[in-house]
Chains A and B, each alone.
Chain A
């Protein structure tokens, strides 16, 4: 049954139209197909209870039990907003951070692992996959894919570095409420990112922010401190009294 149909989010455009699939390969693909064949309606959300081929980076599969988790994609028409993709990534990750933190009674253990994974202690609890479309050099639309492990049970045999809200709280969580809370906070942050200083908040919520820890840089273990994430999404790390900026793939945080 589509439980998402009853949601009436208190938003201007995000989630005013929710397209539900009982089962689909990936909500990002569904959103991208929809846009190519129809139109790009701002704030449309594509959601499913079971994703057969959820995509992650480098074709990592997002493992998910049916009806347990949240998997959805938000469509943003960017023809008027023209948000910098790196800023959009920060707004999304920070909104997810806030929603998860709220679900966990303001737990200090929720962190954003640069550039856009959500971690509880040393385990992944949520992930983001953003696909932007450019017409020439101008951003056209963005599809923001989000996966949150809500009520999935992991056993030790699963041998994956992941956790869920259920696993942490040891009781079933209301995923419909979490979904609604997320889309409301996401729209609010999207509309007020400047006054809310989201970029700054994002940086402060990074796993390892302002702490000396180890990094793998070119297969060398080096001590450093995360001090910023710049406008191009690069991680600025203080190493031997010098700040260096790294692209994704150039540095690996050892956790």
Chain B
């Protein structure tokens, strides 16, 4: 089996919602492609391909991780999405601010409780100021974006542990 065939196989497995694992065994060669359990349903589709080569096989085939076509850098951060955490996302392209003005304290910090209607940040775009309120109640467990940095539409901003 060459690298192209392995890639194609990984692509095939990643495209099949109901396939979690494929195992191929030949006389001197065994290949297991296994999706982490949550990846069968979750958005960030990183597929782990673990080739278990026989001793005579060349090194490059060993322990490779190949990115499935759907995955992209943006989905990198919220790997925990598949757990019970809820992501607060940006409703628009703009600049992310943690407070209403530089001399004011941040709306929320890690560990703070939020409830529906609690402001969490400002997204400024084209001189329009957009205050984003939480829709959920829970605890902020992670900040995913630095203050005063650009954000894309739908980019995850906070992880909330619901209560």
A interface residues with partner B (beta carbon < 8 Å): 57, 59, 85-86, 89, 115-116, 128-140, 232-234, 247-248
Contacts and interface: CB of A to CB of B under 8 A. Distances in A.
B126 A134 contact: no
Given A134-B91, A136-B88, A233 B126 contact: yes
B80 interface: no
Given A85-B130, A134-B133, A233 B125 contact: yes
B127 A140 contact: no
Contact of A86 (B89, B91, B126, B132): B126
Nearest to B130: A132
11 contacts: A85-B92, A85-B125, A86-B125, A129-B129, A132-B131, A133-B131, A134-B130, A136-B88, A136-B135, A137-B91, A248-B126
A130 B124 CA distance: 10
Contacts of A128: 127
B117 interface: yes
B18 interface: no
Contact of A132 (B117, B128, B154): B128
Residue of A86, A128, A137 contacting most chain B CB atoms (<10 Å): A137
Nearest to A131: B129
Contacts of A139: 91
Given A59-B101, A232-B93, A135 B126 contact: no
A80 to B, nearest CB: 17
A136 B91 contact: yes
Interface majority SS on B: helix, strand, loop or mixed? loop
Contacts of A234: 126
B23 to A, nearest CB: 41
Interface string B107-141: 00000000011000000011111111111000000
A86 B117 contact: no
Q: Closest 10 CB pairs between A and B?
A: A136-B135, A233-B126, A137-B91, A132-B130, A248-B126, A115-B126, A131-B129, A134-B132, A130-B128, A133-B131
Nearest to A136: B135
Contacts of A86: 125-126, 128
Contacts of B93: 232, 247
Contacts of A133: 130-131, 133
Nearest to B119: A133
Contacts of B92: 85
A136 B133 contact: yes
Contacts of B132: 134, 136
Contacts of A137: 89, 91, 154
B128 A135 contact: no
Given A132-B130, A136-B133, 9 more contacts: A85-B92, A86-B126, A116-B126, A129-B127, A130-B128, A133-B130, A137-B91, A247-B93, A248-B125
Given A59-B101, A85-B92, A232-B93, A135 B117 contact: yes
B144 to A, nearest CB: 15
